[in-house]
Amino acid sequence: MRRNTHLITTIFLLLLISLQETSIQGYEDSAARNLKQELGEAHEVHCSRERSRAAWDIIEEYLMPFVEQEQYQISSKCRLHPDNDMFRDQEKHKIHVDINEWRCGYCKKSFRAEKFLDQHFDNRHYNLLNVSHSKCLADLCGALHCDFVMKSKSSKSKCNPAAVARNRHLCESFANSCFPINQGPSASRLHELFLRQFCDAHTCPGKAKPFPKGGKKQTSILYLAVSILILMLLPIFYLIVFLYQREMRRGTQELRRISRVGQKTKPS
Ligand SMILES: [Zn+2]
């Protein structure tokens, strides 16, 4: 009898531990939010600005170049739409004057670092936030690999199959809602791209790297290199054309002179 109760408590404890473990990865954001809630902050925004920014940067870098290329309009129902980021307006009102100077676009106050401007936004311009649960971009972080980009988690941390499956599911749901396959060839191409770019890397062990299709930076470097090359070659090209035309003109003048001389010597 006593042995049985021992066994039951052990099983119960093991279950509790495993439950806790599965909830670690995916629920970190909501846990942080709950903690903040408990602490009772002055202006409670249950959404991480830093992680929202990371999610936004990822979308900008690894998705938008392809969306622009396809000239596709993301619906506002899609969680990736800029309107669904509560911090977007504030982020647009950040003026980076110098390395050590950040200015508030609303009241023109200056700060030494971005984090102080963030605090200023939280304290002074809180009313400008559209605080709604569906507008927290940080909630998308699991699907969009924010941790990979922010390097906040060591690569050695154990892969959690339950969390990975949940993130993969979340990722696929974004592909379905933002790029529905029944909305034409552009949407289905972007749907496919989204799966490859973001969802495929949600595997255990996490050996697959996200964003295999590349992003904005690489294309912009390529563009920069090509445009510099063109800019350098253009003057040389014009110089060659100019010299060639000058030679041609000189040639015809010479010919004219020769023919004139020929006409003069001809006796009439
Ligand atoms: Zn301000």
Ligand 1 centroid distance, CA of 103 (Å): 8
The string of pLDDT tens digits covering residues 40-73 is: 445 567 899 999 999 999 999 999 999 999 999 9
Q: Which residue has the higher pLDDT, 226 or 138?
A: 138
Contact in structure between 79 and 63 (CB atoms under 8 Å): no
Write down the H helix ranges in the chain.
2-26, 28-39, 49-62, 64-69, 88-92, 114-124, 141-144, 146-150, 161-178, 184-194, 216-265
Ligand 1 centroid distance, CA of 64 (Å): 29
Q: How far apart are CA 163 and CA 165, in angstroms?
A: 5
Ligand 1 centroid distance, CA of 239 (Å): 54
Rounded mean pLDDT of the chain? 82
Indicate if the pLDDT at residue 267 is higher than 60.
no
Ligand 1 centroid distance, CA of 98 (Å): 17
Q: Which residues contact 152 (CB under 8 A, 6 or more apart)?
A: 146
Identify the pLDDT of residue 27. Answer: 42
Distance of CA 59 to the CA centre of its chain: 3
Ligand 1 centroid distance, CA of 38 (Å): 28
Q: Residue range 13-24: average pLDDT?
A: 44
Q: Which residue has the higher pLDDT, 8 or 28?
A: 8
Token pair 């912009």 is at which residue? 220
Identify the pLDDT of residue 133. Answer: 63
Indicate if the pLDDT at residue 119 is higher than 90.
yes
Ligand 1 centroid distance, CA of 52 (Å): 20
Identify the pLDDT of residue 62. Answer: 95
Indicate if the pLDDT at residue 146 is higher than 80.
yes
